[in-house]
Amino acid sequence: MQSTLSVPTLTTLQTSVVTAPVVGAPPDLLAAFATVPDPRRRQGTRFPLAAVLALAVSALLANHLSVLAIAEWGATQTPDLLRSLGFSQGVTPHQSTLQRLFGKLDPAKLSAVLYRCFDHAPADAAAPPPRGRQGVAIDGKAQRGRLAFAHTGAPVHALSALCHDHDIVLAHLPIAGDGAKAEAELSVAPALLARLDWRGRVLTGDALFCQRNLCQQVMQAGGDYLLIVKGNQPTLYEEISLLFDPPYPALPLTDRREAYTVDNGHGRHVETRRLVASTDLVGYSDWPGLAQVFRWERTWREQDPSQREVRYGITSLTPDVADAARLLELKRDHWRIENDLHYVKDVTFAEDRSLIHVGTGPTILAMLRDTAINLLRWAGHRTIASRLRYHSSHPNLAVALVRGQNA
């Protein structure tokens, strides 16, 4: 515990959340896809796997969102453009060919290739990045169009990891089985975390992922965590709630640091977020790596009366690494995964309406949608829907993105 009372307060007026630009050359996906193992027999193979995957991403970037639409888009492109994608004869596969191929591909091997393309963790282990420099959000998502096929064993849910700074999807893992969604997400979370380089990174997640084993796994990999605490961890929840909101008069916190933001956007009159952090539970709670606890409060008013939401949380970040303002930033940025990934895939890319359910096809298509979003974010495009419409009449620019040219 600290022996002095510290109450610095930060006030920030925010109207939007800004994504940091990606530094470095964009990936050439055609070259990267050439390293994906081809599940087809060599005999009779007409179209290179790398060309087919590059075609699919290009079509998605041009607002052709179904397998049929991808095939139709390819059939209408010029021979020169198709040759730049790897189709030397200027001919592209039909819908049935695409569906069969997507259903045979190994999602884990494609995911590994995409991770190498889009991850920004430094490769030099001798020069580790600063602790807590980057948040990575994890969250699960269902494809509602596939719910009717859940009885066939086709994966309906998936778990994704998103980099806060750039809105880049780092990993995507399908969730097999027909169990409860929460249990299923927890069953694959260790495998998802194991795919990422956690040095200098902070895992952010909702209360479902507040689990001892996940916190230990991230710390052992050189990372940190910032997680919400709810009733699924009753002892920890009670300790934090009694610290910040005791039901009886109590002594003030030995260590109390506060930050808040005020936002007039999002159609609300005023939205205020306030976070109070403390180290008073360090040494008392046995939660692995616990360095700070916090109380997060959000108040907003759309119509009278005003509304209020309170959450408690934990982090392994020490105060000298992440002050209250930084914790508040990480907490808010976690929801990028909902707004900038899940919403975009559902509404802009029509993922929820997809009925593809055979083999690994649904997972492959989900990864290709992630890839299209990553390329657009890398190029600095924030209004994804309008850029897809623009690419629909400028297919050469969609192909330029796939070929590593920042168009």
Q: Three-class SS string for 106-120?
A: CHHHHHHHHHHHHCC
The residue whose two tokens read 């097999």 is: 176
Lowest mean pLDDT: which of 33-47, 197-211, 289-303, 344-358? 344-358
pLDDT at res. 84: 94
Length of the chain: 407
Distance CA 275, CA 139 (A): 22
Domain-located, residue 1:
no
Tell whether the model's pLDDT for residue 87 goes beyond 60.
Answer: yes
**Angle ∠(70,370,376) on CA atoms, nearest 5:** 85
For 168-269, list the strands marked E by DSSP: 168-175, 201-205, 224-229, 257-263
Count of domains forming the chain:
1
Q: Is residue 345 part of a domain?
A: yes
Residue 3: inside a domain, yes or no? Answer: no
Instruction: Note the pLDDT of residue 20.
Output: 62
Whole-model pTM? 0.87
The radius of gyration of the chain from alpha carbons, rounded to an integer in Å, stands at: 23
User: Is 327 within the bounds of a domain?
Assistant: yes
Pick the closest to residue 328 from 268, 262, 384, 261 (CA basis).
261
**pLDDT attached to residue 3:** 35
Mean pLDDT computed over 26-51: 88
| pLDDT score for 264 | 73
What percent of the chain is modeled with pLDDT above 70? 83
pLDDT exceeds cutoff 70 at 205: yes
pLDDT of residue 216: 97
Residue 317 phi/psi, 5° resolution?
-75, 130
Asked if residue 41 is part of any domain, the answer here is yes
Give residue 114's identity as a one-letter amino acid code. L
pLDDT at 238 over 70: yes
The DSSP code sequence of 354-378 is: ----STTHHHHHHHHHHHHHHHHHH
DSSP single-letter state for residue 25? P
Residue 155 C-alpha from the chain's centroid: 19
DSSP one-letter string for 277-339:
EE-TTBTTB--TT--EEEEEEEEEESSSSPEEEEEEEEES--TTTS-HHHHHHHHHHTTHIII
Q: How far is residue 209's CA from residue 212's CA, in Å, rounded to a whole number?
A: 9
| Secondary structure percentages of the chain, helix, strand, coil, to 5 | 40, 20, 40
Task: Flag whether 6 is in a domain.
Answer: no
- Cα distance between residue 102 and residue 48, in whole Å: 13
Residue 2: what pLDDT? 38
**pLDDT band of 355, cuts 50, 70, 90:** low
Domain residues for the domain of 202 are 11-121+130-402
Do 47 and 88 touch, CB atoms closer than 8 A?
no
Q: What is the mean pLDDT of the segment spanning 218-230?
A: 96
Residue 303 placed within a domain: yes
Q: What is the pLDDT of residue 155?
A: 59
Nearest Cα to Cα of residue 94 among 57, 55, 42: 55
CB-facing half-sphere around the CA of 354: CA atoms within 13 A: 30
Residue 9 has pLDDT above 50, yes or no: no
Q: For the range 246-251, what are the long-range contacts, defined as Cβ-Cβ under 8 Å and sequence gap of 24 or more?
A: none
Residues 6+ positions from 204 with CB-CB distance below 8 Å: 135, 136, 137, 138, 164, 225, 226, 227, 330, 331, 333, 334
Within a domain: residue 92? Answer: yes
Distances (CA, A) of 90 to 78, 93, 201, 265, 395: 8, 10, 44, 49, 15
What pLDDT score was predicted for residue 382? 85
Query: What is the SS3 assignment for 204?
Result: strand
How many angstroms from the chain centroid is the CA of residue 13? Answer: 26
Q: Using one digit for the tens of pLDDT, what is the confidence trace for 106-162? A: 988 999 999 988 886 555 556 778 999 999 999 988 776 555 555 555 556 789 999
pLDDT reported for residue 40? 85
Q: Does position 23 have pLDDT exceeding 60, yes or no?
A: no
Q: What pLDDT is attached to residue 26?
A: 77
What gap in Å lies between CA 34 and CA 54, rounded to an integer?
10
pLDDT value of residue 406: 64
Q: What is the pLDDT of residues 206-218, one digit of tens each?
A: 999 999 999 999 9
Q: pLDDT-based confidence at 164, cuts 50/70/90?
A: very high
